[in-house]
Structure 1
Amino acid sequence: MKNSRSLRIILVAIAILAAHTKSHSQQVAITWDDLPAHSALPQGETRVEIGHKLIAAMKAAHMPPVYGFVNGVQLEREPASSPMLKDWRDAGFLLGNHTWSHMNLNTSPLADWEADLLKNEPILQQYAGNTDWHWLRYPFLAEGDTPEKRADTRKVLAAHGYKIASVTMSFGDYMWNEPYARCIAKNDTATIAQLETTYLESASTDADFRRAMAKSLFGHDIPYVLLMHVGAFDARMLPRLLKLYRDMGFTFVTLQDAENDPFYASAIDPSLPDQPDSLEGAMQARGLAFPPRPKSSLDVNTVCR
């Protein structure tokens, strides 16, 4: 009887430890900005083909449903890109609001920004249907240049039923897309190989940087929300990027699951008191020293000029 009771205690302890470990495991929700068209378009590619590559890579990796954040103005600028949104939805992925014109809240009146937010909604209603498209990704991650404007913006979002798609992981993937288009035009395969290497290096070192901040703040990982962009180079690199994250120990979760973590409470409900929704903001708020910030070994802005 005593041995049986001891065994039960051990099994309960193991279960508690396993649950604790799982809750603090390395999880990341991948999100995509600027649908249906981002950055320079390399020769010989279309926006729809870029979308197909992204979708195929995520399907091959058995990704959960991911969010893509839409700028409706791109449908006016590049009408041929519109099938990308339908393909995205047909694949089971989700859409959210990135404002109509990618308006910068920090440099625009709030009333204009709110109008731009709402102008995007018919596009979301058309393509997202009855899925939950009331998620906002701030363009430029600009949440208001004063505390008062930030607070007023949160009231607007709460009134319209929006949740905020925070960003707690980002390695600046967008910076590789224009250089890639230039290198394609020059058929510079050697430099493209450099772009590939530094892209993956930056993703890896940035993940370590974010994890170090989380450990300083909480003593453990939180579920991270990764910001990506629907560019041509991102599409080229996505299979390798997903493998990199898996090799680093990450599992992929939905945006909703990631933001169920208490860190994101004020992003999920903008009517709550404002709290930092980035790791950098939380570090600054607590006066903690930042870990060394990674820097790419290649200045991508200078290549293939």
Structure 2
Amino acid sequence: MGNKLSLVRNKKRIGNSGNVKNFDTETNHSHSSNNEFYTVPVRFEEFERLKIKHFVIKTVFEENFSAPIKDLLINGCRVLDIGCGPGTWILDLSSVYTQSSFVGLDISLMFPSQIKPNNADFVVADARNELPFESNYFDYIHLGDMGYCFTEYEFDHVVIPECIRILKPGGWFESQETRRFINNSGPCSEKLVSLGEEFLKTLEIKPSAYSQNDLKKNPNMTNIKEYVKQIPLGSWGGKIGEEFAETFLIALPYFVERDTEENYLPFEEMNELINKIPLEISECNSSVDCVRTFGQKKYS
């Protein structure tokens, strides 16, 4: 069902974005972790899946961000996207807000290294290490669907503190995630979600999407808010529902493949469940919650 791709945690610099620490471009660093592979292999299907998902979420929220940063972007500011993937979010914004500078960071070289706007740059790095930027550097930091990429400890004690360190006082942080359950789920969806929950436990991944309650635990953040939008799954939701279901169904076999391996479940049984999902989510009017949580770094 597709080959898993081991992504070595390298630190290779792409381009030049100003005050960025130097990398050792010849050395690959591998760290012991329960999350040694991306769940979905880095291949063409994943590129397309992430692009479709980006524009679906943008349409549902009517913008690429929910934090009050539009004036900052218009006047010119520094923006970082952690887990930028193929760079769709960066490329979309940088073409509109030409006075601002954008940096995308990802553990995998999925983004364009040559053909890109002059105000966009990309870095290959592991967000579970110290981020390669000076403290108080960025005006806005964005994390999109990164909850599955870190253990709960890494997310709460490494990634978020590092984001706040490099965020300017008065700057904004925003996390966007889909919740780990399906609204109006049928029996097949419920079984897969239940198996997925058990699998995430083995990886020590945060059991719920990052929320305002999580961000409020940090004493350096204020003006914290959370917006939730339901995104339809399946043809019942029209074009948006069909496209979002496509992103879900492309990724599902890879989740199930790993879940089957970890739990020694019969492959035939899991494959039968997958084949029933498209019809089920349309008949049940299923949907998924997308959560945007944002807050501002205190001035003192």
| TM-score, normalised with respect to structure 1 | 0.29
Structure 1 or 2: larger strand share?
Answer: 2
Greater Rg over alpha carbons, structure? 1
- The answer to which structure, 1 or 2, has the higher relative contact order (CA under 8 A, 6+ apart) is 1
Structure 1 or 2: larger helix share?
Answer: 1
| TM-score, normalised with respect to structure 2 | 0.30
